[in-house]
């Protein structure tokens, strides 16, 4: 039964990718899609597919997968289902790092993911430091502190943009979470970084299982829960940083995808992680596809639309509603 569900999730993602490549403001005839993917159609369709559609769609799928797995790792490491990189300020911290490279050190843009990772890690460090009370780590405090860290990151973003107002015009849509400007070379960078850290996430499944236990039980098994939490979080922050570096802030994917995955394939980490990955990629690709079809010729950043969809779910989870 689980194999069938995985197959359906994978098929949905593949069909979403193919549909998103084929359709948009400029429609590609169905018979030209596959030839254009291999450069065997007209020069016009070959260029449209290879230089615009494929980088945008494939990057969207990878970024959605990265953010969903990042959310799963973060919520598991911090033992709070509401712990998502967007909610906790990790994405805003990563945005500060990426903006620093883009606006203040433009020659360093090839290292954009590293700047985003540094910013996200700084935000996570503050978050983790403030989450330890007298009785050690307290997961119930994490969201409240995360809101404060997110607010601080947003304020820093505002300061940086105001100080560089003449350079920020092209980054407006990026700040809202957009796939519009992703190029083929950027897609290759996203692919390498994302696949590398997704592989690491799969290797961390035994650690994730340990972190589902109470800290006392983890210590009793001979492990340091704080160290394990930091290792998992490093992977989560880098996955979030890659997404932010090239698509801006896309919140709630890290909450929506794992929650849907739990209801579809169950709670086992071996099934939860890959199903979250597939659902996250599908959500971003489908949302971007629908906005191109519905709002064409306008471009609504995918981060805005996912934020509108994700906010009600977040409120429901925060209020403790099981439905």
- Confidence bin at 138 (pLDDT 50/70/90): low
Contacts of 9 (CB under 8 A, 6+ apart): 264, 265, 275, 278, 279, 282
pLDDT mean over 85-110: 82
Higher pLDDT, 297 or 279: 279
Measured between alpha carbons, how far is 88 from 170 in angstroms, rounded to an integer? 26
pLDDT at 278 over 90: yes
Residue 8 pLDDT greater than 60, yes or no? yes
**What confidence tier does 320 reach under pLDDT thresholds 50, 70, 90?**
low
95 in helix, strand or coil? helix
Q: How many helices (H) and strands (E) does the chain have?
A: 15, 2
d(CA 215, CA 212): 9
Tokens representing 199 are 């592989």
Angular region, 128: left φ>0, alpha ψ -120 to 50, beta rest: alpha
SS3 assignment, position 133: strand
For the chain, what are the domain ranges? 2-6+32-318
For the stretch 13-58, pLDDT in tens is 999 998 888 887 777 777 777 888 887 777 888 888 888 889 999 9
What is the structure's pLDDT at 61? 95
- Render pLDDT for 219-247 as a digit per residue (tens, 0 to 9): 888 888 888 888 998 899 899 888 888 88
Structure tokens at 166: 């003449």
At 208, is the secondary structure helix, strand, or coil?
A: helix
Let me know if domain 2-6+32-318 sits in CATH 1.10.3470.10: yes
Which 3 state secondary structure label does DSSP give 199? helix
- Average confidence (pLDDT) over 51-78: 91
3-state SS string for 265-317: HCCCHHHHHHHHHHHHHHHHHHHHHHHHHHHCCCCCCHHHHHHHHHHHHHHHH
DSSP string, 37-92: HTT-S-HHHHHHIIIIIHHHHHHHHHHHHHHHHHHHHHHHHTT-TT--TTTTTHHH
């Amino acid at each position: 039964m689980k194999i069938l569900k995985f197959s359906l999730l994978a098929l949905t993602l593949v069909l979403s990718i193919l549909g998103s490549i084929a359709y948009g403001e400029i429609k590609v005839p169905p018979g030209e899609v596959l030839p254009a993917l291999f450069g065997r159609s007209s020069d016009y369709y070959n260029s449209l597919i290879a230089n615009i559609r494929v980088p945008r769609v494939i990057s969207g799928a990878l970024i959605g997968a990265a953010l969903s797995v990042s959310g799963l790792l973060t919520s598991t490491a911090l033992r709070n289902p509401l712990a998502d990189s967007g909610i906790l300020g990790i994405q805003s911290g990563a945005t500060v790092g990426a903006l620093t490279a883009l606006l203040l050190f433009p020659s360093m843009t090839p290292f954009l993911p590293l700047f985003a990772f540094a910013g996200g890690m700084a935000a996570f460090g503050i978050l983790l430091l403030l989450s330890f009370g007298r009785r050690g780590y307290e997961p119930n405090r994490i969201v409240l502190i995360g809101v404060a860290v997110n607010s601080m990151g947003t304020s820093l973003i505002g300061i940086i943009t105001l100080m560089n107002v003449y350079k920020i015009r092209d980054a407006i849509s990026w700040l809202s979470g957009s796939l519009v400007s992703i190029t083929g070379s950027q897609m290759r960078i996203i692919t390498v970084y994302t696949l590398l850290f997704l592989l690491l996430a799969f290797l961390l499944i035994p650690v994730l299982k340990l972190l589902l236990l109470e800290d006392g039980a983890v210590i009793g098994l001979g492990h340091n829960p704080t160290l394990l939490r930091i290792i998992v979080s490093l992977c989560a922050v880098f996955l979030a940083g890659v997404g932010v570096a090239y698509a801006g802030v896309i919140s709630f994917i890290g909450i929506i995808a794992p929650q849907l995955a739990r209801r579809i394939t169950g709670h086992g980490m071996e099934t939860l992680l890959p199903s979250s990955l597939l659902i996250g990629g599908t959500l971003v690709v489908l949302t971007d596809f629908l906005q191109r079809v519905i709002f064409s010729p306008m471009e609504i950043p995918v981060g805005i639309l996912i934020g509108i969809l994700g906010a009600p779910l977040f409120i429901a989870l925060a209020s403790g509603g099981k439905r």
